[in-house]
Every structure is written in C-alpha cells, then in structure tokens.
A and B are shown apart, each in its own frame.
Chain A
Amino acid sequence: MSGNGTKKLWTMLIGLCLMVGICGCSNVCRVAEYDSHMDIAISELQRKVETFLTQMERGGNRGEASYERNVWFYDEVRVDLSAINVRAGAVTGDGPLLEQLRLLAEQILLLEGVHKNGLDGTAIQRVRGAVNACCTRILRLELARRRGDAVR
C-alpha cells in the first residue's frame, strides 16, 4: 500500500474513533444544570409553609386560624409557585422538576381545600408531611445536579 493510502486509512480510522467516542458520550446528558435560585426558592417556600402551619397549630380553633383570615397566605404562595414554575419552565426539558412542582402546587391547593373546612392537628400533620415530601424531592434533584450527577 502506498504512503498516501496508508495515511488516508489512518485518518479515516482516527475520524471513525472520534465519531464513535462523541456519539457514545451523548447518551449521558444532564437534563438541566444546577439552579441555585431554584434551590433557595424551594427552601424559602418550605419555610413559609412550615411557619404558617405552626401558627395554625397554635391558633387552634380560634378565629385567627380560620381560612377567611388566612387567604393572604394562599395568595402569596400561589405567586411564589408561579414564579418558580416560570423559572423551571425556562429550562428546556426539565421534566422531572416540572412534575415535582406540579405535585407541590396540587398539595398547596389541597391544603387550601382542607383549611376551608377546618384545619385540625391531625390534618396539619398530614399536610406538613405531604408538603415536606414534595420540597425534599425537589431539593434532592437540585442537589444531585450540584454534585454533577447525571439526571435523566
């Protein structure tokens, strides 16, 4: 085989190896980068909900704990969730996070429904567990991204 022929063959082989390497690496992809704003926003939302539930526990059956006197809380949380969703939606392809946020919004809506009919100690415990589970899951996703874990 001539020198040029051998050179061409080597060039093709190296090119082929590079292509295989690049295609192989593309299977592992990070759906979204770590977002510190999301991390902070979810932590703050969880803190806001926890503060509210603690106040409701103290309020007992008194008027201050009634739904009508606490509509402001649901309005605020609705606005917070909207902002968080807009940010999450701006990140293309972040399916897992959007699904978790949808569940969190639903839990808050259910909390509002429960509160309209009375929020007793047992209900508060259940609500607390439900909302914390959502927030924990979202934070785990973000912290996994911060560590650099591949998230599908």
Chain B
Amino acid sequence: MSSDDVEQMHAVMLEAAWEVLGNRPPTVCRCVEAALGTLAVSISQLQAEHTQGSMFMGQAQLQLEMLRNTTRLSLYASHGLGVLAVEDALNAALGAVRSQVNTALGGELI
C-alpha cells in the first residue's frame, strides 16, 4: 500500500468518525486525527505482511484487535470523549474502510 493510499484511508476514516462525533474542541480533533492516522498506518502494515505471506489472516485479526484497543486508549486520553463516543467513532472509522481493506486482502481482516 503506497503512502497515498494510507493517507486516503486515513481521510476516509476521519470523515466517518467526525460524522459520528460532531463538533469537538481542537484538542480532541488533534487526538482523533493522530489516533486514526496511527491506526491507518498499522492496518496498511498488517495488509503488507499478510500479502507477503509472513502473517496469516488469524494472526492479522488478533493484532488488529490489539491495535484497536491501543486506539481506544489514545482516544480516551483526549479527555473529551466518553467510552460510547470512542466506540462509535472507532466502529464508524473501521466500517468505512472495511470493504476496501478486506477486498484488497481477499479475506476478512476488519
């Protein structure tokens, strides 16, 4: 996955998350942007490893879940989002790229 593809994935995830979160203070915005940016990069790395054959789908799914939890923590740290808002934003962000990522992998990573 090229850096342009990662940026595009990041943008799609952000748009989906903002639709759910609505207007938030700038500190929260920066936190969400950074957290989803890291997640997008990590997803692209998992994709690459699976495509190269160094990781099978089950492993990738477990590691994605781990990354998902880490993203949850980053979003909690923004102090402006509750547990439910974080969950909704994360589900929306991943839902927005699910089809693109899974189709590219030929399996259900997300």
Contacts and interface: CB of A to CB of B under 8 A. Distances in A.
A126 interface: yes
B56 A126 contact: no
Given A110-B65, A122-B49, A137-B77, A130 B59 contact: no
Interface in A103-133: 103, 106-107, 110-111, 113-114, 117-118, 120, 122-123, 126-127, 129-130, 133
A130 B70 contact: yes
B21 to A, nearest CB: 19
Residue among B56, B63, B83 facing the most chain A CB atoms (10 A cut-off): B63
Contacts of B44: none
Contact of B66 (A99, A100, A118, A126): A126
A137 B69 contact: no
B4 to A, nearest CB: 23
A137 B70 CA distance: 10
A113 B69 contact: no
A123 B67 CA distance: 11
Interface string B45-81: 0000100001010110011011101101110110000
A134 interface: yes
Given A99-B83, A122-B49, A127 B66 contact: yes
Contacts of B56: 117
Given A103-B73, A122-B49, A110 B66 contact: yes
A114 B62 contact: yes
A111 B67 CA distance: 12
Most buried by A among B42, B69, B74: B69
A49 B23 CA distance: 39
B76 A137 contact: yes
23 contacts: A96-B76, A99-B76, A100-B73, A100-B76, A103-B69, A103-B72, A103-B73, A106-B69, A110-B66, A110-B69, A114-B62, A117-B59, A122-B49, A126-B42, A126-B63, A127-B66, A130-B69, A130-B70, A133-B70, A133-B74, A134-B69, A134-B70, A134-B73
Given A123-B59, A126-B42, 8 more contacts: A103-B73, A107-B69, A114-B59, A123-B63, A126-B67, A130-B66, A134-B73, A137-B77
